[in-house]
């Protein structure tokens, strides 16, 4: 598998993870007794932070070629 296809596949998996996280968030909003708001905010902060890190890493890798 070449590098471009691997990056595309990784991004595809990341987007799928975000969709699953969004569905779980909707479930948490419907059933708030499962988890409180601080835990939910922490999950989205971690997911968003990882996404920014991935985009930064891909951008730096692209610019240093």
pLDDT one-digit tens code per residue, 13-61: 888 887 787 777 777 767 766 555 666 677 777 777 777 787 788 778 7
User: Please, what's the largest Cα pairwise distance for the chain?
Assistant: 49
Residue 22 DSSP class: H
pLDDT at 48: 74
In this prediction, residue 10 has a pLDDT band, given cuts at 50, 70 and 90, of: confident
Q: Is pTM, for the whole model, over 0.85?
A: no
pLDDT at 17: 83
Q: How many Å apart are CA 55 and CA 28, to the nearest integer? A: 28
Structure tokens at 4: 């471009």
């Amino acid at each position: 598998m070449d590098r471009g296809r691997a990056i595309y596949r990784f991004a595809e998996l990341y987007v799928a993870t975000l969709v699953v996280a969004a569905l779980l968030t909707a479930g948490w909003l419907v059933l708030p007794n499962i988890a409180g708001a601080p835990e939910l905010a922490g999950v989205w902060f971690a997911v968003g932070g990882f996404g920014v890190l991935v985009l930064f890493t891909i951008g730096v890798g692209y610019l240093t070629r």
